[in-house]
Amino acid sequence: MSSTFKLRALSNWFFPNHNAYNGHPSVYFGYPVYHHNQYGKEMATKLGHTGIIVGHEIGHTFFDKHDKLQHLPYFSKEVEDCVQNQYNATCMEYKEHSCATTDDSLDENGADIFGLHLAYKHLKSYYGEKLRTRIDRLKMTNEQLFFYSYAMSFCSGRLSSVTFDKKTGKYGSHSAKNVRANVIAQFPPFQKAFNCSADSRMMRSATKPCHIYGSRAPETLKKINN
């Protein structure tokens, strides 16, 4: 078997770029995601990076456009509006090269927030009372490291932008990277972890927290339970 054939065979399971995708009911990951999870030193960084990516991809099955459902029996427009309001507020506050909040990015935006909530839940479960224990060599707590790891996953060294297809008139499915990092302002544990003041720039862009799943989510959960 040639090395080329081996590479093609493996590409059915792993691919070389830093990405992942939901091929419901399976989720596929790029090799860099696997590498980070395998060799990362702190669990907080693994959950802040790989954990959120995993949660994001799972989120594509549990977040849907309310009038074009694929996998869910029902979904709330209230949740959609909550997500898009936050992305729009962050876009307006932090616009760099270009930025837009449209239905084209709705699924990805919702999956971002879903993934963050899911990974943070596992973070709390893993660390327990040590969640806010300070890591001396890094001068931060396990909780803060989780959020730093999340933000680092969007660093590129370039001004953030969105893609736009002139032929179709549609924006790309992903929001600008800096916007995806900064919507975390609406997440109460982030505010608490860094003692964010209410009048700080980041908090000025925060809208009300969005609950996509769980007991605090709007009609979604009630309908499924019925």
The pLDDT tens digits for 145-160 are 999 999 999 988 899 9
Side chain identity at residue 226, one-letter code: N
38-to-48, 91, 125, 159, 202 alpha-carbon distances in Å: 14, 34, 20, 30, 33
69 vs 196 pLDDT, higher one = 196
Task: Give the helix ranges, DSSP H, for the chain.
Answer: 3-10, 31-39, 43-46, 52-62, 77-94, 106-127, 142-152, 177-182, 188-193, 201-204, 219-225
User: Can you tell me the mean pLDDT for 102-112?
Assistant: 94
Nearest Cα to Cα of residue 89 among 11, 215, 184, 167: 184
Position 100 scores a pLDDT of 92
User: Can you tell me the mean pLDDT for 103-110?
Assistant: 94
Nearest Cα to Cα of residue 31 among 45, 19, 47: 19
Is residue 131 in some structural domain?
yes
Give the span between the Cα atoms of 156 and 29, in whole angstroms: 20
Is residue 9 in some structural domain?
no
Position 19 scores a pLDDT of 82
**Phi/psi of residue 158, each to 5°?**
-130, 160
Residue 134 scores a pLDDT above 60 = yes
Position 5 scores a pLDDT of 37
45 pLDDT tier (thresholds 50, 70, 90): very high
Residue 55 scores a pLDDT above 90 = yes
CATH number of 166's domain: 3.40.390.10
Is residue 1 in some structural domain?
no
Is residue 5 in some structural domain?
no
Q: How many Å from the N-terminal Cα to the C-terminal Cα in the chain?
A: 55
Give pTM, 2 decimals: 0.87
Is residue 8 in some structural domain?
no
> Helix, strand, or coil here: 139?
coil
Is residue 12 in some structural domain?
no
- Work out the burial of residue 95: count CB atoms within 10 Å of its CB; fewer than 13 is exposed, 13-18 middle, 19 or more buried: middle
4 pLDDT tier (thresholds 50, 70, 90): very low
Is residue 177 in some structural domain?
yes
Instruction: Mark 207-217 as b/e (b = at least 16 C-beta within 10 Å).
Output: beebbbbeeeb
User: Can you tell me the mean pLDDT for 127-143?
Assistant: 96
Position 219 scores a pLDDT of 66
Number of domains in the chain: 1
Range of the domain at 161: 22-225
7 pLDDT tier (thresholds 50, 70, 90): very low
Instruction: Mark 124-149 as b/e (b = at least 16 C-beta within 10 Å).
Output: eeebeeebeeeeeeeebbbbbbbbbb
